[in-house]
Structure 1
């Protein structure tokens, strides 16, 4: 029951705050595992907090990975705990392309990608519902699979190169008429 976060470790990405949520999830789902993948811009403070919070057995920091596909293939769901400063997070699109549901904070451009209740969940920053939504999808793999499939279909329809070309072509044809 692996939960993946792919984001560089920086204050705006919310890893430190996410540890409190992880602690709650682990109490409800002891077999859950969390993996952080991304460059460390916080000089080891997140890794130290993982140890200090007693989460070393539940949270792995994999560091920067040039190829994140193996991590996406084995995780059940994706969480982006960013607290501010997100435009169009490509990690959400990557998660969807691997058929993973996404749980993220409802900030900046994130609600334009995640449809609450359809391909993932959106929660407010600081809302304890983040833990509840993670537990819900860990306990309900069928629901997680349906949401992930909806995300995969969205990426195929709107974000693959051919889909983007077709959308631009339609706009240009409309301008010519």
Structure 2
């Protein structure tokens, strides 16, 4: 089914860089390839604004990192000039600013708003938030079904208001390698090392510190003394991890690679993948990427991860914040190569069937077209708050 070309604005108040920002830019690329016009508005100091050009996404720097009137006004002026069909917001601050900016526009040029919710952190069920999610925006998009269920429950939203559209990845890029792009020695590891990898922003809730504690336990046992950890990502946790590496005596066994534009060769150089998150996860892109690259996985049941990984079917799932359980699961992948191979193959097949970027793009395109069409038939794009409690 052909879709009329849309004019789409993404807004993002976050200054950081992670899966959320990567999804915005890759989705924007995909929509442009389908003939839609796409823009991004973000703070000048935001990493997504600074990286937008690399993805070919036109971006405007606006003061939308805080809930201030100047951000509302700047966004209103931008929208008045560009006349878009839909605004897709991604964080709390830019959602509130976009809603207020749209309310200040004449109805004839007022776009519809879609709120994307990428993480599983709880939303305060206040009257204002129930209005924001239930009436101010036309639809809420989550990256996992569990996030959708919790939002509907906590904010008393009708099931039709929230839709789950998991992130998709480029399956032509994320594939198993016939030979490793980089050998362990190139990361400063012993030649025979088993490389355990993680790709994640260095935030506390990603659980890096538990992975390092697990590594210390693995190195204390002869069957797993050859394990090392490759960490791809950057963020506020860099220095604490450096300190922990030194304290645990892991120097030479952990390599911090920082942010990488192309994580594929890093994934293809790993022997196993670990994501020990303990909170806030939606559907982590890094897990999808590891699955597509045919890596055996150890992770937790945080957020929407159980929608991807089933224990002993396509990965191993351990309790959150449990370094000993993490070490035991990682040791199994080292000591039971047949199990590791089966888990990896099953995970890759699932990724091939469910995780393609075109599936995500088609669902987002269909959703945006439907809400724009509904608005064009007389349904208000933004409904002002009512005085009665929802």
- TM-score, normalised to structure 1, is 0.88
Q: Secondary structure at the match of 2:299?
A: strand
Structure 1 runs (4+) deviating above 3 angstroms are 161-168
In the comparison of the two structures, how many residue pairs are matched?
A: 168
Q: 1:167 to 1:117 in 2, by over 3 A?
A: farther
Q: Deviations over 1:36-87 (max 9, x none)?
A: 1101222511112111210012111111111111111121110001111111
Q: Secondary structure at the match of 1:40?
A: coil
Alpha-carbon separation, structure 1, partners of 2:362 and 2:345? 22
Q: Deviations over 1:143-177 (max 9, x none)?
A: 21111110110011111145557999xxxxxxxxx
| Alignment partner, residue 203 of structure 2 | 10
Matches within 5 A, 1:110-121: 110-121=305-316
Q: Structure 1 residue aligned with 2:288, among 93, 107, 117?
A: 93
Matched, 1:159 2:373: no
Alpha-carbon separation, structure 1, partners of 2:239 and 2:273? 22
| Alignment partner, residue 106 of structure 2 | none
Alpha-carbon separation, structure 2, partners of 1:117 and 1:143? 8
- Whether the 8 Å CA contact 1:156–1:163 is kept in 2: the answer is no
Matched, 1:58 2:248: no
Where structure 2 has 5 or more consecutive residues not aligned to the other structure, the ranges are 1-193, 365-390
| Alignment partner, residue 103 of structure 1 | 298
Q: Secondary structure at the match of 2:220?
A: helix
Alpha-carbon separation, structure 1, partners of 2:254 and 2:228? 6
- TM-score, normalised to structure 2, is 0.41
RMSD of aligned alpha carbons: 1.8
Alpha-carbon separation, structure 2, partners of 1:89 and 1:107? 10
Taking CA–CA contacts closer than 8 Å with sequence separation of 6 or more, which of the two structures ends up with the larger relative contact order? 1
